[in-house]
Structure 1
Amino acid sequence: MVLRAGSGALRSPSCRLFAVGRRRRGRTRQGRRPCVQRGACARVRHDGHGRASRCRHARAGHQGVRAHVRARRRSSADGRSPGEGRVRACAVLRDDKRQRGHNRDVGLQARLARHEPDHPSRERRGVPPAVRAREERRRVAGERRRLARRGGGERKDRSMTAILVILNNYFHDVATAVLLSSAVILRVLERQAEQAPEALAALERSYPALTRFARVALVWIVVGGIPRTIFFTRYEWDPAVVKGIVPALLVKHALMAAAVIAGFAMWVRTRKRLMTLVKERDGRT
């Protein structure tokens, strides 16, 4: 004899009467139809040591120990005790609930695999907030990768080319600052030499060192400007477009170009003025 979940063979007459009474009175748990297995599995099960434990369908507290003891005294038609049938019914219900959860998970995974958008009028069921946040981070990361493949975006390039370009740009800006600062220092010394003739000797001693600094800076500006121009779009223009700082980038390069031109012009004028001062001193002597 095969006992099926919900069959009348698993329930005693008192259990069936109790279930019918509950239906007539309309007292159902959470407003739903009464569980068909409540009359069968709400009794107390024994674990073999005389201790009793209730199954998950016995939360209402009906059909106590006496009804269970009376049912255990009767044997079923196939030689098994009613308790075994009740345990089997509870196991069937648990398996059915587990299978429904598995089907729900499989359907969710299939929808995610097909990238089906969720309906706007309902929330995705069964997906914790942490999973949604992880999926959002993956989506944003994918958009950044696609933008980087198209040649733009905030890329985190760790290649040797990127490192060398960044270093070249840094020293290119430093060379521009060195050229301008050396020209300013030379101009200050020249003014002092014009006002005090004894300061001309200090200017002549400082001139060779300042000249070497200026030449190295000028060579680096010319040589380093070639790769900077080649990789300008990839490593400077595209990130500026993504961040929305294109005007700041243009102003920066305009100021740097003006600094290079001003420093070079100041060096030429200062050198000519220094030669004139030296000739005047030699003519006086």
Structure 2
Amino acid sequence: MKNPALDILITLNNYSHDIATALLAVGGIMMYLLYRGRKRLLEDGGGVFFSRVYKKVKTIAEASLAWILIAGVPRTIFYKRYEWSDLSGDLQIVAIIIKHIVMFLLVGLLSFYWIRLSRINKSILAKEERRH
């Protein structure tokens, strides 16, 4: 039985899941770039700027990761109904596995920089606290 409202909701869910995945990837790139440029930025007195940027990127990454996990549940449940391609057959399972391996590597890399940036940010905030 077709349910147009469910069809729309699942389609929107799947699109938002893809957008969250893209935002997480961008968040990872931003964290890498922020980490890479940290020394020059901090030498130039940009500690407050560093903290503001880090906080915003962290918020985007956290929200994206949370939405990927939440929206992934209905996406998984309804995958065969809405996304399965008979033309691709079982080969799409291999593609999905590869996609998830890449995403787990991305999250791992993001976490690597996230942890380091968090430590740097705590240090900056502590220095700012002592100044005031």
Same fold (TM over 0.5): yes
Going from structure 1 to structure 2, the CA distance change for 1:264 and 1:190 (only over 3 Å counts) comes to: closer
Deviation for aligned residue 1:226? 1.4
Say which structure is richer in helix: 2
Give the Å deviation of 1:272. Answer: 1.9
Instruction: Give runs of aligned pairs for residues 1-285 of structure 1, distance below 5 A.
Output: 159-196=4-41, 197=43, 198-236=45-83, 238-239=84-85, 242-244=86-88, 245-246=91-92, 247-279=94-126, 281=127
Instruction: Provide TM-score, normalisation by structure 1.
Output: 0.37
Give the 3-state SS of the residue equivalent to 1:224 in structure 2.
helix
Offset at residue 158 of structure 1 (A): 7.3
Aligned residues: 125
Q: Distance in 2 between matches of 1:189 and 1:202?
A: 11
Tell me the percent identity: 30
* RMSD value, Cα: 2.9
What do the CA deviations read for 1:200-241 (whole angstroms, capped 9, x no partner)?
2321222332232223212211211111121123333x42xx
Counterpart in the other structure of 1:38: none
Structure 1: which 5+ runs fail to align?
1-156
- Larger Rg: 1 or 2? 1
Cα separation, 1, equivalents of 2:11 and 2:100: 16
TM-score by length of 2: 0.71
Q: Which runs of 5+ in 2 are unaligned?
A: none
Is the 1:187–1:270 contact (alpha carbons within 8 Å) kept by the matching residues of 2? no
Residues 168 and 228, structure 1, Cα contact 8 Å, conserved in 2: yes
CA contact (8 A) 1:192 1:199 kept: no
Structure-2 change in CA distance of 1:224 and 1:232 (3 Å): same
Q: Check the 8 A contact 2:24/2:61 in 1, yes or no.
A: yes
